[in-house]
Homo-oligomer: A and B are copies of this chain.
Amino acid sequence: MPQAEDRRVRRTRRNLAEALIGLILQKGYERVTVQDILDRADVGRSTFYAHFRDKEALLLSCFDGLREDLNQQLDATVPTAAPRGQIPAAIFAHAYQHRPVYRALCGRQGGHIVSGHLHTLLTRSLGLGLAPESRLGPASAQVPAAVAAEFYASALLGLLIWWVRQDFPHGPDWMAGTYEALAHPGLRATAEMP
């Protein structure tokens, strides 16, 4: 039983991923060509296509790496059935830990592909603990859970991307706190009354 897989495979995939990320930062995802990746990673053309259908598949594999790592981190901090307040903080912390990758995937130069997948991911995560129909927000109106999830996920993703593109001008805790303050002003006012 092999320990994980052929060493050459790991090497190739890692080289390709690193090459792509570096190139995105240099010239932007759209302008990166498969040939660029090949040259930078020093990998043969046929080899590339043996691993990935196209440029986008490679990009998504990078994203998947991050995603797994994030899930692992979430499961670690909160063993089972977590209260959902943890998620935003975990996201910001994770992004801060992996600044270079996030810069490439969510930065100005990154394509919008990853942002889209992140959006889906966040919407699912935030909408997880919500009944299909229920009043939302600390206060009044009857807002369907799906809509609320959409609202909060978009807002969170907006802050995250803004943060990345401004090159992390604040700490992850500050960002998480700010998000909470904007998302649940009522709660915050109560909880932090001097």
Contact = CB atoms under 8 A, between A and B. Distances in A.
Contact of A155 (B115, B151, B177): B151
Contacts of A116: 112
A44 interface: no
A57 interface: no
Interface in A61-119: 112-113, 115-116, 119
Interface in A165-194: 177-179, 181-182, 184-186, 188-189, 192
Contact of A151 (B119, B143, B159, B177): B159
Contact of A179 (B119, B151, B162): B151
The complex is assembled from copies of this chain, and their number is: 2
Contact of A140 (B113, B155, B189): B189
A96 to B, nearest CB: 16
Interface string A133-165: 000111111010001101111110111001000
A189 B189 CA distance: 15
Contacts of A115: 112
A138 B140 CA distance: 15
Nearest to A189: B139
A159 B119 CA distance: 12
A184 B189 CA distance: 13
A113 B116 CA distance: 12
Interface of A: 112-113, 115-116, 119, 136-141, 143, 147-148, 150-155, 157-159, 162, 177-179, 181-182, 184-186, 188-189, 192
Given A152-B182, A157-B158, A186-B189, 6 more contacts: A139-B185, A139-B186, A148-B182, A154-B157, A154-B159, A158-B158
22 contacts: A112-B113, A112-B115, A112-B116, A137-B181, A138-B189, A139-B181, A139-B186, A140-B181, A140-B189, A141-B177, A141-B178, A143-B178, A143-B182, A147-B159, A147-B178, A151-B179, A152-B182, A154-B155, A154-B157, A154-B158, A155-B155, A185-B186
